Structure 1
Amino acid sequence: MDVKNNILETIGNTPLIRLNKITRHLPCTVVAKVDYFNPGHSIKDRMALKMVEVAEQEGKLKPGGTIIEGTSGNTGMGLALAAIVKGYKCIFVTTDKQSKEKADILKAMGAEVIVCPSNVEPEDPQSYYSVAARLAREIPNSYHMNQYDNLANRLAHYETTGPEIWRQTEGKITHLVCTAGTGGTITGTAMYLKEQNPNIKVWAVDAYGSLLTKYYYTGEIDPNEVYPYFSEGFGEDFIPKNYDMSVIDAFTQVTDKDGAVMARRLAKEEGLFCGYSAGSCLQGLMQLKESLTKDDLVVCIFHDHGSRYVGKIYNDQWMMERGFLDVKTFKDIVNGRPMVQKLITISEEKQVAEAVDLMKQYDIEHIPVTRGEAIVGSISEGGLFQKVFNNPDIKHQPIAHVIEPPFPIVDFNTPVEKLRTLITKDNGAAMSKDEIGNYHIITKYDVIQALGG
């Protein structure tokens, strides 16, 4: 029978999948090594298992011991799988930049997770590098895996990822494109492939805010290159020992927005629900495409699964708040809200005081006024202010006495540019019906927020 003895035996042998739509204008063939098919949904399963095996062989990880690691989440998942099968405990240290989903998954696998600030230097005692190293010193029978400087990281890819790509392409690969983080994946894979064919080009994709690119081209470690960025899983603020820059032929940097948008395109156009680094990897290829020819076979490494980013790059609100998502219509603004919001209305027969209470309860400034099922007017915080100030007793009168003109009702696909002219100082909102007939309202604040402030 073809039965695996445990989950670790399913690591590796992930598929190569041709990209058809996004890359259709390129002269070459582009395929993706889709490593979210690993059991931990990322390529890090490969090196996590290898680091554990080497640590065992060297006597650094003993029975009943504790695995300690600083991780953005994916390496932790691979280590957690190995720990479950082999009987180890896990403590993972991560940063507040990483998605909540990653930390929750690690906890679900039985690991303890410690979150550290991301806006500190690597040498700072609060950094996740420093905290992981300190815990390894303090906790008996523990071992700090240190994926950045542990050469078992790149050895895993030399032994598995590189040979798989060579075999799957029948040795026809001409370019390898990979995001650059710890250096293990790109270096180990490149070392193997270049042994088979030194003419294979290896392109590294980096994040703005990382110092790797400048170091590659100048040999200079420049702290001025380091600043916060949203991209996850690649880019560094120091040079890990896993790097051998001699096997890399070019570096390019991709913006947070371009990587996120491309990841979403992969999901919608290719059916590949991948993580942030996959979008950045493909965007990096696009930035270097001018040197490609019709005979080239490009392999892009897609590291992990999109499920770890549903609260970030696959969340419209998160994307809009950072200016990553182009907002074009009334519908885009409504769809970008974190949840479906019920339209708050009030009958013209109700008292003004009830409208004021609704405004306080829901933290809103504009309410449509109804007569039966029909919307016949509006009431606004700004309009009420002067009237109540001049006559406090007006709060006990029917809303019909202070009703304002109704908000303009527009098509659900009305462009944002037109909304700018409709929502004015005297008219603070606009309304529209969606495809199933429900009304929605947007205000000046909604438009400003959707357009990035």
Structure 2
Amino acid sequence: MDFSNNILETIGNTPLVKLNKIVAEIDALVLAKVETFNPGNSVKDRMAVKMIEDAEADGRLKPGGTIIEGTSGNTGMGLALVAIIKGYKLICVISDKQSKEKMDILRAVGAKVVVCPTDVEPTDPRSYYSVSKRLASETPNSWYVNQYDNMSNSLAHYEQTGPEIWKQTDGKITHFVVGVGTGGTISGVGKYLKEKNPNIKIWGIDTYGSVFKKYHETGIFDENEIYSYITEGIGEDILPKNVDFSLIDGFTKVTDKDAAVYTRKIALEEAIFVGNSAGACIKGLLQLKEHFKPEDVVVVLFHDSGSRYVGKMFNDDWMRERGFLEENVTKAEDVIKDHLDKQLIVVRTEELVSHAIERMRKYKISQIPVVDINGFVGSVDETDLFRSYVADKNVAEKPIKEVMGKPFPIVKLGTPIEEVSKLFTKENDAVLVDLENGNHHIITKYDIIGSIK
């Protein structure tokens, strides 16, 4: 009989799959190392086992202990599998930008999940780095994993992932391309491959808002490069000890939008349902295409499963809200089609300014058309109302007709977006669209900006 003694024995030996349509413009053989075939559906299973086994061996982790880790979700899943099999408790500290699916999955496998804000400095006591350390100091018989500086992370990939790739390509690999977060995968695989063949190029995929690329190129840790980003699993605002920059030949940065768009493209064009960092890797690969020759063998690593991003990159509404959905916006009707069900909020000439202000607060809007029995006769916006209030503190009790400006321009549904955009001026912040059924809708500057691709 052929069986595994437990789920941990199924980790590794993931397939190498040739990519076709999505890399058609790359003149080389491109192979994906699909790590979603691990039981925890990510590359992090490998180092989770290694870190725990090494901690057991040297006494840092004792029987019945509590494992504590700050994670973007995938390491937590790997740790959870090991904790279940080996009888440990697990606390995962996760940032609030991570997908709900990741949090739900961690809870499903028995982990306690603590959520921390993303937009804080690493040294802030609320950051998931700081909270992880604090919990480790407060929890009896606990062990703080610290995947960023725990060298068992990169050692796992030196011992497993690197040799697998070398064997699967029969030593013909010329380039390895992978997203960089903790640095364990790129450093462990890179070290093994370069020991086998120093000419193999190791490329890291970074994201905007992360410090890796500039630090690699200049040696400068530039805090101005640090800002919030959406892409999950890659990039950092710290320099983990696991990132061995001497092994990395270069970095390329990928935008949040491109990472999200290409995550979906992989599923649609290659039938491989993988996560956000895989999308970043493919776009990064395309940005590096001039580095590849026809005889090259390029291996790109796909970190995790698309199932963890169903509510994000694979959700049209989520993509649309961020301007990531590749829709062709050419006419006025394209801009308003997703909120046609919303009623146009208006105010009448004889209503008080206080009524307009209350409506702006209630509906979270900045511009309101003014109507009388004949139709649209004026407009008010929050800037005009603020100026009026500064000039006259009693303005709230005055009728709208005394403070209103000119009416918003009205366009037809089929008006080209270029013509609509020209109607926005310093004096005019909105345009009305005639819906041809007696009703109207409003387009604001925000709507126009949101339609820019």
Q: Return the TM-score normalized by structure 1.
A: 0.78
Residue 326 of structure 1 deviates from its aligned partner by: 3.0
Residue 317 of structure 1 deviates from its aligned partner by: 2.1
Q: 1:443 to 1:15 in 2, by over 3 A?
A: farther
What is the aligned partner in structure 1 of residue 47 from structure 2? 47
SS of 2:68's partner is strand
Q: Counterparts of 1:2-401 in structure 2 under 5 Å? A: 2-328=2-328, 386=373
SS of 1:22's partner is helix
SS of 2:323's partner is coil
What is the CA deviation profile of residues 203-234 of structure 1, one whole-angstrom value per residue up to 9, with x for unaligned ones?
01111111111111111212111111111111
Task: Tell me if the contact between 2:31 and 2:298 (Cα under 8 Å) persists in the aligned partners.
Answer: yes
SS of 1:9's partner is helix
Structure 2 stretches of 5 or more lacking a match? Answer: 344-362, 377-410, 423-429
Residue 343 of structure 1 deviates from its aligned partner by: 10
C-alpha separation in 1, matches of 2:260 and 2:431 = 38
**Residue 443 of structure 2 is aligned to residue 444 of structure 1:** yes
Residue 323 of structure 1 deviates from its aligned partner by: 2.1
The code of the aligned residue for 1:141 comes to N
Residue 420 of structure 1 deviates from its aligned partner by: 8.1
SS of 2:185's partner is helix
The code of the aligned residue for 2:251 comes to F
Residue 428 of structure 1, aligned match among 418, 427, 433: 433
Residue 149 of structure 1 deviates from its aligned partner by: 0.3
What is the CA deviation profile of residues 131-166 of structure 1, one whole-angstrom value per residue up to 9, with x for unaligned ones?
101111110010000000000100111111101111
Q: 1:416 to 1:311 in 2, by over 3 A?
A: farther
SS of 2:237's partner is coil
C-alpha separation in 1, matches of 2:52 and 2:159 = 15
C-alpha separation in 1, matches of 2:416 and 2:164 = 49
Task: Tell me if the contact between 2:432 and 2:441 (Cα under 8 Å) persists in the aligned partners.
Answer: no
Residue 255 of structure 1 deviates from its aligned partner by: 1.1
Residue 257 of structure 1 deviates from its aligned partner by: 1.2
Residue 430 of structure 1 deviates from its aligned partner by: 3.9
What is the aligned partner in structure 2 of residue 351 from structure 1? none
SS of 2:30's partner is strand
Q: 1:278 to 1:332 in 2, by over 3 A?
A: farther
SS of 1:236's partner is coil
C-alpha separation in 2, matches of 1:429 and 1:88 = 64
Q: 1:61 to 1:121 in 2, by over 3 A?
A: same
C-alpha separation in 2, matches of 1:48 and 1:11 = 10
Q: Return the TM-score normalized by structure 2.
A: 0.78
C-alpha separation in 2, matches of 1:426 and 1:274 = 41
C-alpha separation in 1, matches of 2:320 and 2:452 = 7
Q: 1:264 to 1:442 in 2, by over 3 A?
A: farther
Residue 295 of structure 1 deviates from its aligned partner by: 0.5
What is the CA deviation profile of residues 267-308 of structure 1, one whole-angstrom value per residue up to 9, with x for unaligned ones?
111112211111111111111111211100000011011111
Aligned residues: 396
Q: 1:265 to 1:417 in 2, by over 3 A?
A: farther
Percent identity of paired positions between Structure 1 and Structure 2:
57
What is the CA deviation profile of residues 37-85 of structure 1, one whole-angstrom value per residue up to 9, with x for unaligned ones?
1111111111111111111111111111111000011100110111111
The code of the aligned residue for 2:155 comes to L
The code of the aligned residue for 1:191 comes to K
Task: Tell me if the contact between 1:71 and 1:94 (Cα under 8 Å) persists in the aligned partners.
Answer: yes
The code of the aligned residue for 1:109 comes to V
What is the CA deviation profile of residues 165-199 of structure 1, one whole-angstrom value per residue up to 9, with x for unaligned ones?
11111111000001111000000011111111111
C-alpha separation in 1, matches of 2:61 and 2:86 = 11
What is the aligned partner in structure 1 of residue 405 from structure 2? none
Following superposition, which runs of at least 4 residues in structure 1 exceed 3 angstroms of deviation? Answer: 329-337, 341-344, 381-389, 407-410, 414-421, 425-432, 441-450
What is the aligned partner in structure 2 of residue 372 from structure 1? none
C-alpha separation in 2, matches of 1:447 and 1:87 = 53
SS of 1:428's partner is strand
SS of 1:67's partner is strand
Task: Tell me if the contact between 2:177 and 2:299 (Cα under 8 Å) persists in the aligned partners.
Answer: yes
**More displaced stretch, 236-245 vs 324-333:** 324-333
Task: Tell me if the contact between 1:320 and 1:451 (Cα under 8 Å) persists in the aligned partners.
Answer: no
Q: 1:75 to 1:292 in 2, by over 3 A?
A: same
C-alpha separation in 2, matches of 1:149 and 1:156 = 13
The code of the aligned residue for 1:8 comes to L
Task: Tell me if the contact between 1:327 and 1:450 (Cα under 8 Å) persists in the aligned partners.
Answer: no
Q: 1:294 to 1:229 in 2, by over 3 A?
A: same
SS of 1:42's partner is coil
Q: 1:18 to 1:124 in 2, by over 3 A?
A: same
Task: Tell me if the contact between 2:266 and 2:272 (Cα under 8 Å) persists in the aligned partners.
Answer: yes
C-alpha separation in 1, matches of 2:448 and 2:431 = 17
C-alpha separation in 2, matches of 1:442 and 1:87 = 60
C-alpha separation in 2, matches of 1:206 and 1:388 = 54
SS of 1:61's partner is coil
SS of 1:143's partner is strand
Task: Tell me if the contact between 1:64 and 1:88 (Cα under 8 Å) persists in the aligned partners.
Answer: yes
What is the aligned partner in structure 1 of residue 351 from structure 2? none
C-alpha separation in 1, matches of 2:76 and 2:317 = 28
SS of 2:23's partner is coil
